[in-house]
Structure 1
Amino acid sequence: MGVRAGFETLGQEVDVELEVRGELPPWLAGTLVRNGPAKFETDKGSFRHWFDGLAMLHRFGFAEGAVTYRNRYLETPSYLAARDGGHIAYGEFATDPCRSIFSRFFAHPRLRRTSNANVNVTSDGDRDFALTETPIAVEFDRNTLATVGLADYDDALDGHVTTAHPHRAPLSGDLVNYVLRFGRRSAYRLYRQRGLTRVPLASLPVDRPGYLHSFAITERHVVLAVFPLVVNPLSLLLRARPFIENYRWRPELGTRFLVVDQRDGSVVADERTDAFFAFHHINAYDVDGGVVVDIAAYPDSTVVDALYLDRVRGDAELPLAFPTRYEVDLSGGGVRSRRLAEDSLELPRIAYGSHNGRDYRYAYGVGAHDNGTRDFLNRLVKVDVRSGRTTGWHEPGRYPGEPVFVPAPDARSEDDGVVLSVVLDAGVGRSGLVVLDAATFTELARADVPHAIPFGFHGQFRAR
């Protein structure tokens, strides 16, 4: 079965109490909700890329040492068309529907945008939302995982793509993100969000927009790293190709760092450095005269092609990202960079509540054991970004997902808490939740799920 089980459709939806082996901290109470693709084919077609599969939510509940598990498909128009009609009706990251059959769906711009919110989850305090890279958030009930419906924003801010990684501004608590609107003069439109109202912060014109999966925030600034995987917006209209296949790798453009002041939306730095690519920022913070931006960086964009399903289900080589620091001089002195550690790191997380946008020491992620490229991500990693020292958790035949850090209620240090990760045991074709002590990176407990959970992307923990 091997790693392929992480890229196969999951048909089961269950509500179960899990057997816990080991001992959970008595203070661990709340819910972890994870998001990711779980349906990769329909009766009349198949998705082509890992990023395209239809969204499923997974909820782990923690109380008094016990763990419960529930999973549900996100019942969006994209999912319902596949379930009830058997077809792919909306364009995804690397899969397009049959335009000759579904041309009527493309008469209105809103209907071109998939509602398949399979990347991340967020909350405004009262409501919970699943997110993807189109500006259509999908509300769901955190307890039952029932789909409530598509969110209607109370503003006129429009765009074609966004990120599924909004940030909490460290000082105000507002959600910050951007929408990218394609056109003759495309623009990244940064905004603050309170509830479902988005307030424009800045508009950054761009001729050749880059593909950005995430961005960075500090106490004072918003930072966009525009990688040279770029698109001519006309291609999206004129070429009959899936979204990402219109982008081209142009390393001669270099990577552009745009630093925006949160107070007035002014651009305080616009600097270029050597070409690289990334999906995920680790963290960022202000220093005297500059901004430090830590990124899980690849040398180029070949990782996008490596994640097509026919490749990840086989034995194709997987490019690796490494934690890399970029220091942007706000006085026009350019960008300096250095690798933070020699072990690979992806799907990075930090002690977000206390250290997002601020100086920090520890990052957690997934990586490849011995930096091997012939297996999928098979190691949990903790990086001390100050010393470069790494600590790992690895068991042969097991494939962990994004590690979510949960702080202890009375945390006395940055890494005082636990790390939660969903791990696939490829040998038996089942997944389980593994709980590590974040400080020592040793296993405290695990709880097995009755099926294999397809490899997902991101999740959030909410304390009770």
Structure 2
Amino acid sequence: MSVNITKLFRSAEETETPEVAIVQGKLPEWVAGTYYRVGPAKFDFKDFTMNHMLDGYAMIAKFDITPERVTFQKKYLQSDSYKRAIAAQRPVITEFGTPACSDPNKSLFSKFVTALMPEFSDNDYSTLLKIGPDLFSICDTCYFRQVDTQALGNSPEKYDSNKLFGVNGQSAHPLTDSNGDVWNIGFTFFPGLKYQVVRVPNGKS
């Protein structure tokens, strides 16, 4: 049973094509370029509502800014968690405050395995990070996803920090230093709980 949070948060709609924003006043000449944001945006399904703000499925927003005009577009990140939730009309992978529901597309054996070894979500709603020429959306699980900056919601690749860095999970808020190196904190469970510092050198992809 889910909690009604409709008075606190509401699901956002995608924009299929960029919309021209109404600009009041005059933009400074130095304000130009493309600005991306990510955040939780899908909370409601046909007969189900997510329990917590951090359970909303990620939406990527894009602002194209020129001295003449600003266009705006937003699309849902096509994560595995999001696509499976859309198909089932409820979450089938546990999110921050909403437990997973039974996945109607899984066999009985698969459901049994999932009960013993729960899946981690790739609903990367927290932070956008640029590494080299690529843009990534991340959260505090082991998964992060590349963002297609043209098609926006499309995510051509999912990465696993277990395989790349040897950490079971990671902070959702990496930092970039003055050299362009990206730093983050992760953790490992075995052979004992430990924190790990991860560094991605500037220029690496």
Class of the TM-score when normalised by the shorter of the 2 chains: 0.7 to 0.9
The question of 1:151 aligning with 2:159 is answered: yes
1:38: Cα distance to partner?
Answer: 0.8
Aligned partners of 1:26 and 1:65 also within 8 Å: no
Q: Following the alignment from structure 1 to structure 2, what is the Cα–Cα distance between the partners of residues 100 and 142?
A: 31
Q: Following the alignment from structure 1 to structure 2, what is the Cα–Cα distance between the partners of residues 76 and 108?
A: 23
For 1:51, what is the secondary structure of its paired residue?
Answer: helix
Q: Following the alignment from structure 1 to structure 2, what is the Cα–Cα distance between the partners of residues 47 and 164?
A: 21
Q: Following the alignment from structure 1 to structure 2, what is the Cα–Cα distance between the partners of residues 162 and 105?
A: 24
1:28: Cα distance to partner?
Answer: 1.1
The question of 1:166 aligning with 2:174 is answered: yes
Q: Following the alignment from structure 2 to structure 1, what is the Cα–Cα distance between the partners of residues 113 and 92?
A: 8
Q: Which runs of 5+ in 1 are unaligned?
A: 197-464
1:121: Cα distance to partner?
Answer: 0.3
Q: Following the alignment from structure 1 to structure 2, what is the Cα–Cα distance between the partners of residues 60 and 100?
A: 36
Q: Following the alignment from structure 1 to structure 2, what is the Cα–Cα distance between the partners of residues 173 and 158?
A: 22
Aligned partners of 1:105 and 1:112 also within 8 Å: no
1:213-252 deviation digits (Å, cap 9, x = unpaired): xxxxxxxxxxxxxxxxxxxxxxxxxxxxxxxxxxxxxxxx
2:3 corresponding residue in structure 1: none
Find the partner of 2:192 among 158, 166, 185: 185
The question of 1:34 aligning with 2:50 is answered: no
Q: What letter is aligned with 1:58?
A: A
For 2:94, what is the secondary structure of its paired residue?
Answer: coil
TM-score, structure 1 normalization: 0.38
For 1:21, what is the secondary structure of its paired residue?
Answer: coil
Q: What letter is aligned with 1:114?
A: S
2:84 corresponding residue in structure 1: 81
1:22 corresponding residue in structure 2: 25
1:219-298 equivalent positions in 2, closer than 5 A: none
Larger radius of gyration: 1
Residues 23 and 183 of structure 1: CA distance in aligned 2, closer, same or farther (over 3 Å): same
1:156-179 deviation digits (Å, cap 9, x = unpaired): 533333111111133x42111122
TM-score, structure 2 normalization: 0.81
Residues 62 and 6 of structure 1: CA distance in aligned 2, closer, same or farther (over 3 Å): farther
1:407 corresponding residue in structure 2: none
1:121 corresponding residue in structure 2: 128
For 2:87, what is the secondary structure of its paired residue?
Answer: helix
Q: What letter is aligned with 1:141?
A: D
2:9 corresponding residue in structure 1: 7
The question of 1:106 aligning with 2:114 is answered: yes
Residues 55 and 156 of structure 1: CA distance in aligned 2, closer, same or farther (over 3 Å): closer
The question of 1:65 aligning with 2:60 is answered: no
For 1:137, what is the secondary structure of its paired residue?
Answer: strand
Residues 155 and 100 of structure 1: CA distance in aligned 2, closer, same or farther (over 3 Å): closer
For 2:197, what is the secondary structure of its paired residue?
Answer: strand
Q: Following the alignment from structure 1 to structure 2, what is the Cα–Cα distance between the partners of residues 90 and 148?
A: 21
2:148 corresponding residue in structure 1: 141
The question of 1:94 aligning with 2:97 is answered: yes
For 2:146, what is the secondary structure of its paired residue?
Answer: strand
Residues 117 and 84 of structure 1: CA distance in aligned 2, closer, same or farther (over 3 Å): same
Q: Following the alignment from structure 1 to structure 2, what is the Cα–Cα distance between the partners of residues 154 and 136?
A: 9
Aligned partners of 1:162 and 1:180 also within 8 Å: yes
For 2:12, what is the secondary structure of its paired residue?
Answer: coil
1:31: Cα distance to partner?
Answer: 1.3
Q: What letter is aligned with 2:11?
A: T
% identical equivalent positions: 26
Q: What letter is aligned with 1:157?
A: F
Residues 181 and 108 of structure 1: CA distance in aligned 2, closer, same or farther (over 3 Å): farther
1:43 corresponding residue in structure 2: 46
Higher fraction of strand? 1
Q: Following the alignment from structure 2 to structure 1, what is the Cα–Cα distance between the partners of residues 77 and 174?
A: 20
1:338 corresponding residue in structure 2: none
Residues 148 and 105 of structure 1: CA distance in aligned 2, closer, same or farther (over 3 Å): farther
1:34: Cα distance to partner?
Answer: 0.9
1:189: Cα distance to partner?
Answer: 1.0
For 1:78, what is the secondary structure of its paired residue?
Answer: helix
For 2:165, what is the secondary structure of its paired residue?
Answer: coil
1:331-385 deviation digits (Å, cap 9, x = unpaired): xxxxxxxxxxxxxxxxxxxxxxxxxxxxxxxxxxxxxxxxxxxxxxxxxxxxxxx
